């Protein structure tokens, strides 16, 4: 199955609203971390952890639902996740890399989200935690005369990349849906002391002003949270710089007023994990 054929299903896949993305407003972070990102040989196995947690790379809250994840190989075809298990605080699975090139493991979703104040003055929201709302459902289920109604079109993406042998670009190509990374520097070709150019796109166009947060591993063992905060330029571009090797968690958030009806607001959330290697 080609990656392009997977997209309609991905758009319908759900993520828990508010819990899985947006650490600025919520304590919980979502992450999908491979044990390594670059391997050599004719074939290799890579193990992944996936969790919704209070801190980065420290599973302490909830396992990420594995049924929401998909993997595609260097040719864009689906790759099966093997030896999967959902534990108490994290999910685990293996990916068998049998073809040279870059693999993507990811989830993507899109939903209509509404908030309003009811006749008793209480704040209400729809469609509810963990559910995906469509325009058709919105028309049936949200009061037409709702007070202070705010309707948003929310796209979320979670992903990471691994490579067998030399990296290639097929599996990392943007789909044109939601907030995405256009990796001007390949995500499996990151090194300490080398600047990495990245571009963020919203529905295929430059996502100007996207806010980006970058955090290195071992946050649990630092006295203070050390995060790099960046803002994308008018072309949606940022430059990432790495002072130390290790695994890095990246979150990007975007908002404008170009939501498709019935929405007026368009929001995008993006989370990825990269490995930075020493020179």
Q: Return per-residue pLDDT of the chain as tens, 279 residues.
A: 344 344 433 333 333 333 344 433 345 899 999 999 999 999 999 999 999 999 899 999 999 999 999 999 999 999 999 999 999 999 999 999 999 999 999 999 999 999 999 989 999 999 987 788 999 999 999 998 899 999 999 999 999 999 999 999 998 999 999 999 999 999 999 999 999 999 999 999 999 999 999 999 988 888 776 799 999 999 999 999 999 999 999 999 999 999 999 999 999 999 999 999 998
Do 103 and 72 form a contact (C-beta atoms < 8 A)? Answer: yes
Bridge partners (DSSP) of residue 74 are none
CATH top-level class of 3-110+152-276: mainly beta
Question: How far is residue 16 from each of residues 13, 49, 127, 234, measured CA to CA in Å?
Answer: 10, 18, 11, 30
DSSP conformation letters of 176-194: SSSEEEE-SS-TT--BTT-
Token pair 């071992």 is found at 218
Q: Name the residue ranges covered by the structural domains of the chain.
A: 3-110+152-276
Tell me the helices (H) and strands (E) count for the chain, helix number first. Answer: 2, 18
Q: CA-CA distance, 228 to 209, in Å (whole number)?
A: 15
DSSP string, 107-155: EEEEEEEEEEE-TTS-EEEES-TT----HHHHHHHS-TT-EEEEEEEEE
- Quote the pTM value: 0.87
For every residue of 230-257, DSSP letters joined together read: EE--TTSEEEE--SS-EEEEEEEEEEES
C-alpha–C-alpha distance, residues 162 and 210, integer Å: 25
- Cα(215)–Cα(29) distance, rounded to whole angstroms? 12
Phi and psi at residue 257, to the nearest 5°: -110, 40
């Amino acid at each position: 199955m080609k990656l392009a054929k997977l997209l309609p299903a991905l758009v319908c896949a759900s993520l828990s609203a508010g819990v899985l993305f947006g650490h600025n407003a919520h304590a919980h972070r979502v992450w999908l971390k491979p044990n390594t990102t670059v391997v050599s040989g004719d074939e290799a196995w890579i193990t992944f952890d996936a969790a919704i947690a209070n801190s980065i790379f420290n599973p302490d809250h909830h396992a990420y639902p594995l049924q929401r994840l998909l993997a595609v190989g260097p040719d864009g075809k689906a790759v099966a996740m093997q030896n999967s298990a959902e534990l108490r605080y994290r999910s685990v699975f293996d990916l068998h890399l049998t073809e040279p090139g870059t693999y993507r493991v990811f989830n993507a979703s899109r939903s209509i989200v509404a908030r309003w104040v009811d006749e008793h003055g209480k704040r209400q929201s729809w469609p509810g935690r963990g559910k995906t709302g469509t325009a058709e459902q919105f028309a049936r289920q949200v009061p037409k005369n709702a007070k202070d109604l705010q309707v948003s079109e929310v796209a979320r993406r979670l992903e990471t990349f691994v490579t067998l042998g030399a990296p290639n670009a097929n599996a990392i190509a943007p789909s044109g849906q939601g907030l995405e990374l256009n990796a001007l520097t390949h995500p499996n070709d990151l090194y300490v002391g080398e600047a990495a150019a990245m571009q963020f796109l919203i529905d295929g166009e430059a996502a100007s002003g996207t806010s980006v947060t970058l955090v290195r591993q071992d946050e649990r063992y630092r006295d203070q949270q050390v995060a790099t905060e960046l803002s994308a330029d008018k072309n949606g571009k940022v430059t990432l710089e790495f002072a130390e090797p290790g695994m890095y968690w990246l979150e990007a958030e975007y908002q404008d007023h170009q939501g498709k009806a019935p929405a007026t607001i368009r929001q995008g959330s993006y989370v990825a994990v990269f490995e930075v290697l020493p020179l």
